[in-house]
Structure 1
Amino acid sequence: MNSTMQVLVIGGTGTLGRQIAKNAIDAGHKVRCMVRKPKAASFLQEWGCELTRGNLLNKEDIEYALDGIDAVIDAATSRPDDPRSVYETDWDGKLNLFNACEEKNVKRVVFLSLLAAEKYREIPLMDIKYCTEELLVSSSLDYTILQGVAFMQGAIGQFAIPILNNEPVWISGNPTDIAYMNTQDIARFAVAALDRPQTIKGRFPIVGPKAWSAKGLVDLCEKFSEKRARVLKVSPTIISIAQSVVSFFEPTLNVAERLSFSELSGSGGKLDAPMEDTYTAFGLNPADTTTMEGYIKEYYGVILKRLKDIGVDLDIEEKKKFPI
């Protein structure tokens, strides 16, 4: 593998994609990002990325973006507010992208998938991720598939902010334990794959150090915020309905917010996997991975200091809903 590569990042404006682009730049690679709205992606240009306008549903856009590219990292996933069907946005787009890679002889591809997608094929997004994995396996591409779970950023929206604002935390009556991972750590794996031939033709779980229950996360937030949580346990169906009118998952792309939330996050199982072989294959040190304890502690430390600096007293009733 070349030490410096020309890398095309798909989904570069997303929560994870922007971390991948930044990590690839910091690693010395030349990065191009295909984006639908270049004006909204100016921060990527400021980091040193080249921007090209494009949409995965337009084959000509993809072919243009692939010119001179050595490797592709695909972190694109349809957004909750996308008016198109996920089968159009994700599946048709992936077909266009990977067919174009084969035609343009861009062999190296890193694909961000979801853990246990094969077990939840009744959920459209999971079905698409599984089918895309199988598409890559049957292709001539030198793929690496990263099977993630949920972003730590999602725990902030679901647990940390409501507790800080004295708002209720909604959880399923039978919640799934989830091994959340920081997007910065997921990005390290995606970029490290480019220089690790042993990851080619492989599927790897990419999960955090520990699977957290909803109660464990509530306890953690209470500890570092020094506030008591108001927990509402409701049926998965009610949570699913509430998603259409409440935006408590909106800023993230974690599994809990994705389609058919009730079937996955309310299954009562565990989304986790052993990571020893993954760390070895990617040449990364487990000790460098963010822990949920450290993440929540740092979040509250920064937020509470900021509020104190501007003179906001969170114990005052009328300021309970101070916007974070």
Structure 2
Amino acid sequence: MKVLIVGGTGTLGRQIAKKAIDAGFQVRCMVRRPRKASYLQEWGCELTQGDLLRQKDLEYSLNGVDALIDAATSRPDDPRSVYETDWEGKLNLYRACESIGVKRVVFLSLLAAEKFRNVPLMDIKFCTERYLLDSSLDFTILQGAAFMQGVIGQFAIPILDSQPVWISGNSSNIAYMNTEDMASFAIAALSRSQTIRGVYLVVGPRSWKSEEVIKICEGFSDKKAKVLRVSPALIRIAKTLVSFFQATTNVAERLEFADVSGSGIELNAPMEKTYKDFGLDISLTTSLDSYIKEYYEVILKRLREMEADLNREQRKKLPF
């Protein structure tokens, strides 16, 4: 089977590409900047240059493929609105699939998107799901919560570097998932006919409070966290300020996502049916505490190796 992956240079997309290659698929990735995606070629992926907003690029990239995996999401530094890059791009992508005859589609969505239509990214995910449900495509929709990789930037690194950790005053319990595990579901869907036209909740083994995540990081880093709670009112002020400037449109829209993580709604779901339909072993799914432990073991080892080559003044600047 030949598979086209869009979003292949993203945190999740690159894991999907690697697992697809390892599983024996022929993999093509449509990317905007091929030079920055050379590692995908080294893994064995074919690259095509393209943009979701250009119909000819999509038709060229989809030509000759059997299935599509859509892991594309606009980048935080994209100056355009997510409604332009994501929503218009999704419409172009799936219309191209229908016109060319690529029926099999796996779409990476977000859990509880229907509850947060006021958040642009969630609204787009919800509307894309509705589009697929009304289409003739053989889709599989995977609804994830949040990725463990994001925990590193939000909690693990600031704590290690003695920087403040910002959390919402009413933070949600979140069932974080490793992108490698999410990628396994995306690849498994292609060979599991029972997942066709199915919508699946795909989350980690358990949900975690922000305070619990901080304690785990403190334990493995042997550092005390500096926690700052941010009120919803302050976030609203920040969203208002950045929305005044056209160049920060994408930033303002992403700040809206704080309404999700700070809603107090638990982002978790039962996974028994999902594992059964995809034929995957739940015991092999990464737990958040083991993920954070491994991160600190690796990073602290590297830092200590660096320390051996530094003088006394340079050592004082190291975060341990």
For normalisation by structure 1, the TM-score amounts to 0.90
Deviation at 1:286, TM superposition (A): 0.5
Name the residue aligned to 1:189: 185
Does the residue aligned with 2:53 lie in a helix, a strand or coil?
coil
Deviation at 1:239, TM superposition (A): 4.6
**Match of 1:54, as an amino acid?**
G
Q: 1:131-170 alignment to 2 at 5 Å? A: 131-170=127-166
Deviation at 1:237, TM superposition (A): 3.8
Structure 2, unaligned stretches of length 5 or more?
Answer: 242-252
Match of 1:120 among 104, 116, 119: 116
Does the residue aligned with 2:11 lie in a helix, a strand or coil?
coil
Distance (Å, rounded) in 2 between the aligned partners of 1:237 and 1:113? 28
Distance (Å, rounded) in 1 between the aligned partners of 2:219 and 2:172? 22
Name the residue aligned to 1:287: 283
Name the residue aligned to 1:107: 103
Please say if residues 10 and 74 of structure 1, whose CA atoms lie closer than 8 Å, have aligned partners that are also in contact. Answer: yes
Does the residue aligned with 2:307 lie in a helix, a strand or coil?
coil
Please say if residues 240 and 262 of structure 1, whose CA atoms lie closer than 8 Å, have aligned partners that are also in contact. Answer: no
Please say if residues 237 and 262 of structure 1, whose CA atoms lie closer than 8 Å, have aligned partners that are also in contact. Answer: no
- Per-residue Cα deviation, 1:177-209 (whole angstroms, up to 9, x for no partner): 111100000000000000000000000011001
How many residues are matched? 307
Deviation at 1:242, TM superposition (A): 6.2
Deviating above 3 A after TM superposition, structure 1's stretches of 4 or more consecutive aligned residues are 239-245, 316-324
Distance (Å, rounded) in 1 between the aligned partners of 2:319 and 2:41? 29
Distance (Å, rounded) in 2 between the aligned partners of 1:128 and 1:282? 26
Deviation at 1:264, TM superposition (A): 1.0
Name the residue aligned to 1:301: 297
- Per-residue Cα deviation, 1:213-260 (whole angstroms, up to 9, x for no partner): 000000000111111111111213435666999xxxxxxxxxxx9441
Please say if residues 240 and 261 of structure 1, whose CA atoms lie closer than 8 Å, have aligned partners that are also in contact. Answer: no
Q: 1:193-272 alignment to 2 at 5 Å? A: 193-239=189-235, 258-272=254-268
Distance (Å, rounded) in 2 between the aligned partners of 1:147 and 1:228? 34
Please say if residues 239 and 256 of structure 2, whose CA atoms lie closer than 8 Å, have aligned partners that are also in contact. Answer: no
- Per-residue Cα deviation, 1:56-102 (whole angstroms, up to 9, x for no partner): 00000000001110000000001111111111111111111101101
- Per-residue Cα deviation, 1:27-50 (whole angstroms, up to 9, x for no partner): 000000000000010010000000
- Mark the CA change 1:317 to 1:199 in structure 2 (over 3 Å): closer, same or farther: farther
Distance (Å, rounded) in 2 between the aligned partners of 1:183 and 1:299? 14
Deviation at 1:308, TM superposition (A): 1.1
Deviation at 1:26, TM superposition (A): 0.3
Please say if residues 166 and 320 of structure 1, whose CA atoms lie closer than 8 Å, have aligned partners that are also in contact. Answer: no
| 1:90 paired to 2:86 | yes
Distance (Å, rounded) in 1 between the aligned partners of 2:155 and 2:99? 46
- Per-residue Cα deviation, 1:270-309 (whole angstroms, up to 9, x for no partner): 1111111100010000011000011000000001111111
Structure holding more helix per residue: 2
Please say if residues 7 and 32 of structure 1, whose CA atoms lie closer than 8 Å, have aligned partners that are also in contact. Answer: yes
Distance (Å, rounded) in 2 between the aligned partners of 1:124 and 1:273? 23
- Mark the CA change 1:208 to 1:258 in structure 2 (over 3 Å): closer, same or farther: farther
Distance (Å, rounded) in 2 between the aligned partners of 1:312 and 1:147? 45
Distance (Å, rounded) in 1 between the aligned partners of 2:162 and 2:90? 42
Deviation at 1:262, TM superposition (A): 2.8
Please say if residues 160 and 319 of structure 2, whose CA atoms lie closer than 8 Å, have aligned partners that are also in contact. Answer: no
- Per-residue Cα deviation, 1:144-164 (whole angstroms, up to 9, x for no partner): 000011110111001100110
Deviation at 1:320, TM superposition (A): 7.1
Name the residue aligned to 1:13: 9
Distance (Å, rounded) in 2 between the aligned partners of 1:78 and 1:28? 28
Name the residue aligned to 1:248: none
- Mark the CA change 1:65 to 1:235 in structure 2 (over 3 Å): closer, same or farther: same
Structure 1, unaligned stretches of length 5 or more?
Answer: 246-256
- Mark the CA change 1:320 to 1:37 in structure 2 (over 3 Å): closer, same or farther: farther
- Mark the CA change 1:69 to 1:323 in structure 2 (over 3 Å): closer, same or farther: farther
Q: CA RMSD in A?
A: 2.2
- Mark the CA change 1:241 to 1:14 in structure 2 (over 3 Å): closer, same or farther: farther
